[in-house]
């Protein structure tokens, strides 16, 4: 059962081939047997999962089930889950049990989904390798010596290892797409504001966006249908009707205009990754698409802009973690200032501290105009590049990451090199555009992802473009040795 996609599992449940209880039990047994190798789960909610599975079976029997009823998935441990620890991969929240559900979680509950547990992640979503987690690094199921990418590395690994049928992730600068690429799965970052951020612990509020991670584009379409929609509790949520994202999956691609940014195929791109991406684009030509070279001239500004804007917002968002109201508190503080200093000093890890310090600096008097304001102006230039590009093409393609998964520990002592792992993904977040990564092949035994970037609210087209490629390739259905 674990080899089936969400769509196939839903069909099996509806036709009575197996029950949700049987399916959930099978996944829980796989988690118990295999998760020790990858460290992808922080919390496994076995009892709650079986209760939800029994309720799902009752809904299926009563004929009131939806396309996700009874499907076992995992949530990134950044989403608040009522009565379940929500750690954000940090010592700071190791003892925090959320008193409510994030909107994403509650919408999946309403859909009848079974939550298997919460997945490991870079601390407060800050990282590109899932090595900053308080609970230790996640390992890539394709090569246990390699990183899975970050920050949604646990969510990517559980899908790649088939320890969940699908998962949720968040993407602030590539944190759905980059781990999806490195783990050989499909991941979608929706348009900013399409999915509610309520109950999703904030890192950088103008960039954060939740999205689905699964085997296939069809699975992501099913999940996005449940996740998307207006939420009055989120001030950045957009009032738009939710389309049927599956309706156009089988539309032909004849006449589709694909833009290839020349900036994505230059220095820094691994030759093996380039060959795989070029082969995937050749398949799109066979499917009737037209390929056009385009330019995104301000691409080189994306990383420096991001590492001013994101730390600035994180320094503000993380000021609430002070040892007073919830989360970690130091032992025997001498006074209030000692409580603040030691609780934050002991509760946060090195990468989080680094970004808080950078963010506080760029927002400080005398430096705000020189750094933060200038970064916001450059952010607009990046957005304008995409606006011009989409006047010529329907979708933009290129590599998701410049290399395949690197080895554990290889870049952890060099933050700047680590930050460059997201060089192709960050711009979509700065512009608020939707982006996807789909499996396109391998370099050695490590997966390569093809990135698709669409215009605002063009998720249906992205899913269609991805699905058509997955009809003529099998990269998305391959399983790593040891997890078959």
Whether the bond into 151 is cis, omega within 30 of 0: yes
Verify whether residue 175 is a known catalytic residue.
yes
- Which one is catalytic: 4, 19, 20, 76? 76
Cβ atoms of 185 and 159 within 8 Å: the answer is yes
Verify whether residue 133 is a known catalytic residue.
no
Number of CB atoms found within 10 A of residue 37's CB: 14
- Which one is catalytic: 175, 216, 315, 437? 175
148: CB partners within 8 A, 6+ apart: 38, 40, 129, 130, 138, 139, 140, 141, 154, 156, 157, 160, 179, 182, 183, 405
Tokens at 352, concatenated: 């989080």
- Which one is catalytic: 106, 133, 151, 412? 151
Verify whether residue 151 is a known catalytic residue.
yes
133: CB partners within 8 A, 6+ apart: 89, 120, 121, 122, 123, 127, 154
How far apart, in Å, do the first and last CA atoms of the chain sit?
A: 11
Catalytic machinery residues:
76, 151, 175
């Amino acid at each position: 059962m674990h080899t089936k996609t969400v769509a196939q599992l839903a069909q099996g449940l509806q036709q009575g081939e197996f029950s949700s209880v049987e399916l959930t039990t099978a996944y829980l047994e796989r988690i118990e047997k295999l998760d020790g190798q990858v460290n992808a789960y922080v919390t496994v909610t076995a009892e709650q999962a079986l209760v939800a599975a029994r309720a799902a079976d009752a809904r299926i029997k009563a004929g009131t089930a939806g396309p996700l009823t009874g499907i076992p998935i995992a949530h990134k441990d950044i989403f608040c889950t009522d009565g379940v620890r929500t750690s954000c991969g940090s010592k700071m929240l190791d003892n925090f049990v959320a008193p409510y559900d994030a909107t994403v979680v509650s919408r999946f509950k309403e859909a009848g989904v079974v939550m298997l547990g919460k997945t490991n992640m870079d601390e407060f979503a800050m990282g590109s390798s899932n090595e900053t987690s308080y609970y230790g690094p996640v390992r890539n199921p394709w090569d246990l010596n390699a990183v899975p990418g970050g920050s949604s590395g646990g969510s990517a690994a559980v899908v790649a290892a088939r320890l969940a049928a699908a998962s949720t992730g968040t993407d602030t600068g590539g944190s759905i797409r980059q781990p999806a690429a490195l783990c050989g799965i499909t991941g979608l970052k929706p348009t900013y504001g399409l999915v509610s951020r309520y109950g999703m612990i904030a890192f950088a509020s103008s960039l954060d966006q939740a999205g689905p991670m699964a085997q296939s584009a069809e699975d992501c379409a099913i999940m996005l249908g449940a996740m998307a929609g207006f939420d009055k509790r989120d001030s950045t949520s957009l009032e738009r009707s939710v389309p049927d994202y599956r309706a156009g999956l089988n539309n032909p691609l004849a006449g589709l205009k694909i833009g290839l940014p020349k900036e994505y195929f230059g220095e820094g791109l691994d030759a093996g990754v380039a060959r795989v991406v070029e082969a995937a684009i050749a398949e799109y030509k066979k499917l009737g698409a037209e390929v056009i070279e385009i330019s995104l001239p301000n691409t080189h500004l994306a990383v420096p802009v991001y590492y001013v804007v994101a730390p600035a917002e994180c320094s503000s968002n993380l000021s609430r973690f002070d040892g007073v109201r919830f989360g970690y508190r130091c032992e025997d503080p001498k006074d209030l200032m000692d409580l603040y200093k030691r609780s934050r000093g002991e509760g946060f890890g090195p990468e989080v501290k680094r970004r808080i310090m950078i963010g506080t600096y760029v927002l400080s008097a005398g430096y705000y105009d020189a750094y933060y304001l200038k970064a916001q102006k450059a952010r607009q230039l990046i957005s304008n590049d995409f606006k011009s590009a989409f006047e010529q093409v329907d979708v933009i393609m290129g590599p998701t990451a410049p290399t395949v998964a690197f080895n554990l520990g290889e870049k952890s002592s060099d933050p700047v090199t680590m930050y460059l792992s997201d060089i192709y993904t960050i711009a979509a977040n700065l512009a608020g555009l939707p982006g996807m990564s789909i499996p396109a092949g391998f370099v050695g035994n490590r997966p390569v992802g093809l990135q698709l970037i669409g215009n605002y609210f063009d998720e249906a087209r992205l899913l269609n473009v991805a699905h058509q490629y997955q009809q003529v390739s099998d990269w998305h259905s391959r399983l790593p040795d040891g997890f078959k």
